[in-house]
Structure 1
Amino acid sequence: MIKTIISIGLWAALGWLCGAWLGPHTGWGVFSLGLVVMILVSGVQLSRIGRWVSDIDAPPPPSVGPWDEILAPIYRKLRKDKQDLALLNRHVDGIMLAAEALPDGAITLDEAMHLTWCNQTASDHIGLDLKADRGHSIFNILRAPEFARYARQTSWPGPILLHMDKPGQEKTLLVQLTRYGVGQFLIVTRDVTQVEKLETTRKDFVANVSHELRTPLTVLSGFLETLRDMPEESLSAEQRLRYQTLMLEQAQRMQAIVADLLTLSTLESSPHAEGEPVRMSTLIHTALQQGRILSNDQHVFVENIAEDLYITGIETELASAVSNLLTNAIRYTPKDGTITVSWYISEGGHACYSVQDTGIGIASQDLPRLTERFYRVDRGRSRATGGTGLGLAITKHVAMRHNAELTIHSRFGAGSLFSLIFPPARVSTPDQ
């Protein structure tokens, strides 16, 4: 504004000088010409400003007269706002990336409980398709009566547990609904399938241990009460010896269960075993000697054992696994059955210890659960032969610690084949 006033003043002074020298008409003409020039220059400047307005992100045009003082602060403000907006966008992008990386599912809903956004985890949990499901009611997407009852409450003090049954896949989700913002809702989902399985396993384990120890404890307490309450002369030496033998057997059974539980605990405490080269043929021959005693010459043993084949590992653990597989075959093979024990190296460099029997076999529905603690196909037979129900669980953990694989093939009524397959990295020979 000041520049404009100064320019008008200069043209007025120039017009006055010309008027004083050449006459008033000339002075007024010069002054009018000056005003016209100022108007034309102002028009050009306004035209340049108009072109800038169409591309406001570009710097403003230079030398636009009195408009410089107006455009400069506007441009500085626009540039600062642009920088602030870019920073906010980076923050929003970071928040969205963090939301996508969450191990829990996150779903946002509007006031009518229509889906507005969800992360990938929530899509995996519930089977959402954000493009197709956006704007649809959550009650039409998540069709679970218990969720509908839960979501229609006025408040949600705690989460709800939902069991999602899909073809070939079952999930247990912990779902929490809460309000945020104005008229908006947030659903957080957490996959607790493994937690629920572990809790079920823990409960089963406690129940199984209690059940396994209850029988020998009942027998022990019964015999002790009998011996305490009956007069000493009422029992013959033969009866007393029989009672003591039975009590000893039950005590040894409890001791075997506790020993196997301690072994399992030790195996689970560390995932891998290093150890030293172990000559497996020695362990297998020792297990066969013990197996023949257990068999009492009632079975036929066939041996196919490579003598100079070593496994890097823990000798006591490997001996336990070798013995467990052989003992199981003896216990579940009828009299005159054949048990084939093999120890060899495959063409791929894997070492394999296998025990094949012609026993009673295992039904297909029981195969996946054989390595569970205390799981028995025939509880009565296992107890009668002195089994604790932990042998295969121990063998499985020994295999895992030695990077090996325990495979089980069986057909009901036609025998079974149990194999421990060790990776080439743990196999060695005397030359190596």
Structure 2
Amino acid sequence: MFDRLSSLVVALTLVAIAVILAALAGGDALAIAILAAAGVAAAALVYSALPSPVMAESRADTAPSPAPPPASLLRHPDFALWADQEKEPLLGCDDNIVTLANDAAIRLLGRHIVGADVRTAIRHPAATEWLSGIEGPATPEPINLVDFPRPGQRWTMRIAALSGGQKIIFLADRAAIDAADRMRSDFVANASHELRTPLAAILGYVETLQDMNGDADTATRHRFLSIIEREARRMQQLVIDLLSISRVEADRFRRPTTPVDLTSIVRTTIAQLRDSERPRARDIVAVFDDMPLPMLGDEAQLGQLAHNIISNAMKYGRADTPVTVELIREGQRARLSVRDEGDGIAADHLPRLTERFYRVDEARSRSVGGTGLGLAIVKHISERHQGQLDIESDVGKGTRVSVAFPLASGA
């Protein structure tokens, strides 16, 4: 308040001095009066422009207070809630002390890790060295923890650096990725082997015929050429199956949307097999009527599925025994079943029958022309059509392969 009044007093004093000086100088009375009025008005304006003490105090009271320091992310309740929903192990650390561990991390490492030094909580030499070498907010490259937490397992470890010396550590199980890599490597190796075997036979017999220079008798030449043809057809079938499984895998995430009749597809497949030159074509016995079974599907793939299952039964069933094909309705599902009367398959082989190139008896499979991909293709086609594949077998009695497909709604 003192500053505002002092400014007004100083302004009026200056006005009074100016008026006195003008009067002493013999100025006109009207001019002096105008000068005095202008001085008072200027003083009033200065006074009104200065902030009042009340307003100053009010502004001081309403001035924004400095922002509080940011809250710790690791201690936020929503962060803990999110962390527990993560399927992979996650650790929150403050100056290398574990302050938070989600459920997956506790299952992997134990509940005792909370409050412990992260370098001892993750008991692996590579992890200890990696964590000890981290300085400042830098984010190092992920590392692989081999034989962690048990021999034969592998995990990937990565880190996200936060402010204030805090960090989040993520652990990812590499088992599924490693299995896929092994499967891909095995597939390439097996495919190369399967192609190399008939190719070697073809080249060997061709070279033999060339060395004979026409000296071979007709019977020998015919036998060699028959072997070459058989091995070439085997290679051809293998290439066809490789292309088929590649196409099916490419389509596995696209559900079919085309209405088809499963009864018609199976009947067409049986007719094609009966018209072929296969020695057991007449052993196929169809046990179903012409009742339509509508579903959403890929007609070509469903035909291939039926063809592969029936062909397998023809190959591995005993000669002159029926290959029974059944197609029945079970509520809102249609089940295709194919049963042979062969030697059967031991129970320990059943889970692996749908693996690519897996054979119970390699010598017999090659003698009947199997590529080892037939049931793998059946499995992928079944999965794409939301079908359920079942394989049952009794040693010495035979095998039954069935697939149940969902029917179209309203069928």
Q: TM-score, normalised by structure 2?
A: 0.71
- Out of 332, 347, 360, which is 1:377 matched to? 360
Alignment-mate amino acid for residue 189 of structure 1: L
Other-structure match for 1:135: 115
Other-structure match for 2:189: 207
- Out of 331, 335, 343, which is 1:360 matched to? 343
Q: Is the 8 A contact 1:159 1:177 kept in 2?
A: no
Q: Is the 8 A contact 1:408 1:416 kept in 2?
A: yes
Other-structure match for 2:156: 174
Q: Is the 8 A contact 1:125 1:191 kept in 2?
A: no
Other-structure match for 2:175: 193
Partner Cα separation in structure 2 for residue 294 and residue 125 of structure 1: 58
- Label 1:252 to 1:148 Cα distance change in 2 as closer, same or farther (>3 A): same
Other-structure match for 2:249: 268
Q: Is the 8 A contact 2:280 2:320 kept in 1?
A: no
- Out of 403, 407, 410, which is 1:424 matched to? 407
Partner Cα separation in structure 2 for residue 411 and residue 141 of structure 1: 51
Other-structure match for 1:18: none
- Out of 213, 235, 244, which is 1:232 matched to? 213
- Out of 47, 50, 60, which is 1:73 matched to? 60
Task: State the shift of 1:115 in Å.
Answer: 1.1
The question of 1:398 aligning with 2:381 is answered yes
Alignment-mate amino acid for residue 377 of structure 2: I
Q: Is the 8 A contact 1:337 1:358 kept in 2?
A: yes
User: Any residues of structure 2 matched to 1:288-367 within 5 Å, and which?
Assistant: 289=274, 293-295=278-280, 302-312=285-295, 313-346=297-330, 348-367=331-350
SS in structure 2 at match of 1:190? strand
The question of 1:159 aligning with 2:143 is answered yes
Task: State the shift of 1:105 in Å.
Answer: 5.0
Other-structure match for 1:53: none
Q: TM-score, normalised by structure 1?
A: 0.68
Alignment-mate amino acid for residue 116 of structure 1: T
Other-structure match for 1:13: none
Task: State the shift of 1:153 in Å.
Answer: 6.4
- Out of 228, 232, 236, which is 1:251 matched to? 232
Q: Alignment RMSD, CA only?
A: 4.0
- Label 1:280 to 1:135 Cα distance change in 2 as closer, same or farther (>3 A): same
Task: State the shift of 1:260 in Å.
Answer: 1.1
- Out of 366, 370, 377, which is 1:387 matched to? 370
Partner Cα separation in structure 2 for residue 232 and residue 296 of structure 1: 40
Q: Is the 8 A contact 1:333 1:359 kept in 2?
A: yes
Task: State the shift of 1:363 in Å.
Answer: 2.7
Of residues 92-101 and 303-312 in structure 1, the stretch that sits farther from structure 2 once superposed is 92-101
- Label 1:2 to 1:359 Cα distance change in 2 as closer, same or farther (>3 A): farther
User: Any residues of structure 2 matched to 1:1-16 within 5 Å, and which?
Assistant: 2=2
Partner Cα separation in structure 1 for residue 174 and residue 125 of structure 2: 20
Task: State the shift of 1:2 in Å.
Answer: 4.2
Count of residues in Structure 1 that have an aligned counterpart in Structure 2: 354
SS in structure 2 at match of 1:234? coil
Task: State the shift of 1:108 in Å.
Answer: 3.4
Other-structure match for 1:52: none
Task: State the shift of 1:219 in Å.
Answer: 0.6
User: Any residues of structure 2 matched to 1:211-226 within 5 Å, and which?
Assistant: 211-226=193-208
- Label 1:342 to 1:329 Cα distance change in 2 as closer, same or farther (>3 A): same
Task: State the shift of 1:311 in Å.
Answer: 3.6
Name structure 2 gaps, 5 residues minimum.
7-52
Other-structure match for 2:390: 407
- Label 1:107 to 1:343 Cα distance change in 2 as closer, same or farther (>3 A): same
Partner Cα separation in structure 1 for residue 294 and residue 334 of structure 2: 8
Partner Cα separation in structure 2 for residue 360 and residue 329 of structure 1: 11
- Label 1:293 to 1:157 Cα distance change in 2 as closer, same or farther (>3 A): closer
Task: State the shift of 1:351 in Å.
Answer: 0.8
Partner Cα separation in structure 2 for residue 146 and residue 188 of structure 1: 15
Partner Cα separation in structure 1 for residue 92 and residue 72 of structure 2: 21
Task: State the shift of 1:263 in Å.
Answer: 1.5
Partner Cα separation in structure 2 for residue 378 and residue 211 of structure 1: 16
Task: State the shift of 1:179 in Å.
Answer: 6.9
- Label 1:211 to 1:317 Cα distance change in 2 as closer, same or farther (>3 A): same
Of residues 178-187 and 366-375 in structure 1, the stretch that sits farther from structure 2 once superposed is 178-187
Other-structure match for 2:47: none
Name structure 1 gaps, 5 residues minimum.
7-65
Other-structure match for 2:49: none
Partner Cα separation in structure 2 for residue 240 and residue 172 of structure 1: 57
Partner Cα separation in structure 1 for residue 146 and residue 87 of structure 2: 18
SS in structure 2 at match of 1:222? helix
- Label 1:305 to 1:194 Cα distance change in 2 as closer, same or farther (>3 A): same
Q: Is the 8 A contact 2:336 2:403 kept in 1?
A: yes
Task: State the shift of 1:410 in Å.
Answer: 2.6
Other-structure match for 1:45: none
- Out of 268, 277, 280, which is 1:283 matched to? 268
Task: State the shift of 1:349 in Å.
Answer: 2.4
SS in structure 1 at match of 2:287? strand
Task: State the shift of 1:422 in Å.
Answer: 1.2
Q: Is the 8 A contact 2:91 2:105 kept in 1?
A: no
Partner Cα separation in structure 1 for residue 287 and residue 248 of structure 2: 29
- Label 1:345 to 1:164 Cα distance change in 2 as closer, same or farther (>3 A): farther
